[in-house]
Amino acid sequence: MSRLFGTDGVRGLANGPVITAELALDLSIAAAHVLGEPDRRHGRRPRAVVGRDPRASGEFLSAAVCAGLASAGVDVHNVGVLPTPAVAYLTADMGATFGVMLSASHNAMPDNGIKFFAEGGHKLPDRVEDEIAERMGQEWERPVGAEVGRIHENRAGQARYVAHLLRTLPNRLDGLTVVIDGAHGAASAVSPEVFRLAGADVVEIGTDPDGLNINDGYGSTHLDRLRAAVIERGAHLGIAHDGDADRCLAVDHTGTEVDGDQIMGILALALKDRGALTHDTLVATVMSNLGLLQAMERHGISVVQTGVGDRYVLEEMRRSGHSLGGEQSGHVIMLDHGTTGDGVLTGLMLAARVAETGRPLAELATVMTRLPQVLVNVKGVDTSRVDGDAGVQEAVREATSVLDGSGRVLLRKSGTEPVVRVMVEAGTHDEAEDTATRLAAVVKERLAL
């Protein structure tokens, strides 16, 4: 059977076959038993922080989660609509036993999801997620009377999170005009507030959530409105979040996109200049552009690469003690200030670098030159054979040899879709596209179902 948990919690169509009120109730009860057990062994009452993004379905799902936790003897602090990294931060800051976030991130409004944070605000390892899934539906002893959990509506979380973000800033943002695109999501209130308190002149778009419009034409997956607003208002830069604000993309004053690789490059140099880049090392995934690796090498910064997914970046950072890591998609983790990707923090740090140096974002982004990158998704194939098929691997070796160090080839099966992803970087777009097309044809032929 497939795992209940995916790469980022349990996610799917809200009120559909998976993400139901019943699932939310059962899953929260199982989580209360697994994650709350250490507290109960020591005679303490478990406590949980519960937050959500503004999706309409989050209203009934959070009610079910809170009910399930309280019925299992967990005291709940319901912090309402806040970004995912805020829930992670508050889980640690409030000394809670664990945290729960209801969000489907950048997915369209009909979807929703449930993810958990362990004590300290850290993501759960696979084995703990599997233990929670296994506990669902099992018999359990129900607390009664004073032993049932209590639900507290805690609306002080936003102020605590904003204060935390302001404490991380190395310098103020006075003199900057910044356009914030909140994706009508969880950062719609927080991000404009903290940028204003940091000294920026803020223009808001996508900050009027109604429960139905999250990610609808706004946010990090829809940058056109942000580009237009930055140019129209003569802003220094624009910041785009996704629905739960754990990622950040940007545009410079000309409306040109600044992606996660460029953001990581800019922040790596900023931290290195301040002596705060641990081991002078950046952690990135294998999908990061080769141009980032080349740029970091020129500046004396090592790059450690991981599998695709911010959880793998985070695992490597925690294992080796590195302070900065992330993904091309805009998930950036600054481990000195947070336990997970934080789009608001990332945007603040990027703006702070612009203010500190007096250099426009467009200039800072030239730290790296992006090699043309082409990604082809090959459907209708046996993804399990991609690493073991001799013909496919020989085609990869031949393509890599032809590129001769001026590019690279990456084949991998997707963790979220039944496809093989063929990624090629080369000196020109035509060369990358031709190579990717040839490799995709080999994959289609060799791995056909």
Quickly count: other Cβ atoms within 10 Å of residue 80's Cβ. Answer: 16
**CB contact at 8 A, 83 and 187:** yes
Are residues 324 and 334 in contact, defined by beta-carbon separation less than 8 angstroms?
yes
Q: Cα-flanking dihedrals φ and ψ of residue 11, to 5°? A: -140, 145
The helix or strand, by DSSP H or E, that contains position 195, with its residue range, turns out to be helix 190-197
Residues forming a β-bridge with 421: 377, 412
One-character DSSP codes across 234-249 = T-SEEEEE-TTSS-EE
Place of tokens 């991000």: 191
The amino acid sitting at 4 is: L
**Active-site option among 105, 220, 288, 329:** 105
Please compute Rg for the chain using Cα positions: 22
Hey, what are 30's tokens? 């199982």
Does residue 105 have an active-site annotation? yes
**Euclidean distance between the first and the last CA atom of the chain, given in angstroms as a whole number:** 20
DSSP per residue, 258-285: E-HHHHHHHHHHHHHHTT-SGGGEEEEE
Distance (Å, rounded) from C-alpha 132 to C-alpha 26? 10
Q: Which residues are catalytic?
A: 105
